[in-house]
Amino acid sequence: MARRAGSVPPFRGALQGRQVGVIAEVKRSSPSRGVINPGLDLAAQVRAYEAGGAAAISVLTEPTRFGGSADDLVLARKSVALPLLKKDFHVDVSQIFEARVLGASAALVIARAVAPGRLKDLITAGADVALEILVEVRDERELDLALSLNASLIGVNNRNLETLELDAGTSLRILPLIPRGVVAIAESGVKSAADVKRFADAGADAVLVGSELSGARHPEAVARSLTGVVRTGGARKG
């Protein structure tokens, strides 16, 4: 049975505080880094993130490239009170419904991975079951599409998923174009508080941190080191 709307903590609301929200990610491997933490104790990891001041947690459920599973999301939901983002290659409405049943507060949808009509369907499906949709973009065209569909959460991925190259300039270019009423998230390439501040100055409300935290020997301390940067809104317009 699907959870009732409102029975999981809000994702967007957790990222609208005075400070830049840290979305701490759990993953065992990735195409860009290979094996990161194959023996990851997921329950202990997410509790460390929570203790370190993370605003939300991203859980990779994709098995082939990232070593994740739906069970990881279920365990994370049992282990912490923070909102959870289900991160996977979501291309079908049934996956959105599944994310809600598993206890996610939000699900990632990559704009370039689906046709515009399908992106609209996925956002609508999320609204139908009170699951927030984080639309990931990499360029101005994808941003315009996301905004035309009234996306309220937009992530800018600094990693090119085709070449796996990392370019922080992607967020620095796109974030200022996101209206202030939309929660803007910088994804990938965050290793220090200085990186968080750089993205905050460009307009980030939150940052998503993956490999740096998943592979950390002391994840609580690393998470804490990334918190405390004040949101400024950058040059974003209302």
pLDDT in tens, the chain (238 residues): 334 444 899 999 999 999 999 999 999 888 887 787 788 899 999 999 999 999 999 999 999 999 899 999 999 999 999 999 999 999 999 999 999 999 999 999 999 999 999 999 999 999 999 999 999 999 999 999 999 999 999 999 999 888 889 899 999 999 999 999 999 999 999 999 999 999 999 999 999 998 899 999 999 999 999 999 999 988 888 7
Sign of the torsion formed by the C-alpha atoms of 117, 120, 126 and 130: negative
Q: Tell me whether residue 157 is one of the annotated catalytic residues.
A: yes
Among residues 98, 132, 136, 212, the one annotated as catalytic is 136
What does the pLDDT read at residue 162?
A: 82
What does the pLDDT read at residue 100?
A: 96
Among residues 142, 187, 212, 220, the one annotated as catalytic is 187
Q: Tell me whether residue 25 is one of the annotated catalytic residues.
A: yes
Among residues 25, 50, 132, 212, the one annotated as catalytic is 25
What does the pLDDT read at residue 2?
A: 39
- Cβ atoms within 10 Å of 141's Cβ, excluding its own: 11
Among residues 58, 157, 214, 225, the one annotated as catalytic is 157
Query: Can you tell me the distance from the alpha carbon of 210 to that of 188, in angstroms, rounded to the nearest whole number?
Result: 7
3-state SS track over the chain? CCCCCCCCCCHHHHCCCCECEEEEEECCEECCCEECCCCCCHHHHHHHHHHCCCCEEEEECCHHHHCCCHHHHHHHHHHCCCCEEEECCCCCHHHHHHHHHHCCCEEEEEHHHCCHHHHHHHHHHHHHCCCEEEEEECCHHHHHHHHHCCCCEEEEECECCCCCCECCHHHHHHHHHCCCCCEEEEECCCCCHHHHHHHHHHCCCEEEECHHHHCCCCHHHHHHHHCCCECCCCCCCC
Q: Tell me whether residue 188 is one of the annotated catalytic residues.
A: yes
Among residues 188, 211, 214, 225, the one annotated as catalytic is 188
Among residues 50, 58, 87, 211, the one annotated as catalytic is 87
What does the pLDDT read at residue 33?
A: 79
Q: Which residue has the tokens 């967007």?
A: 12
Domains and CATH numbers, the chain: 84-226 (3.20.20.70)
Among residues 27, 86, 220, 225, the one annotated as catalytic is 27
Q: Tell me whether residue 197 is one of the annotated catalytic residues.
A: no
Q: Tell me whether residue 27 is one of the annotated catalytic residues.
A: yes
Q: Tell me whether residue 37 is one of the annotated catalytic residues.
A: no
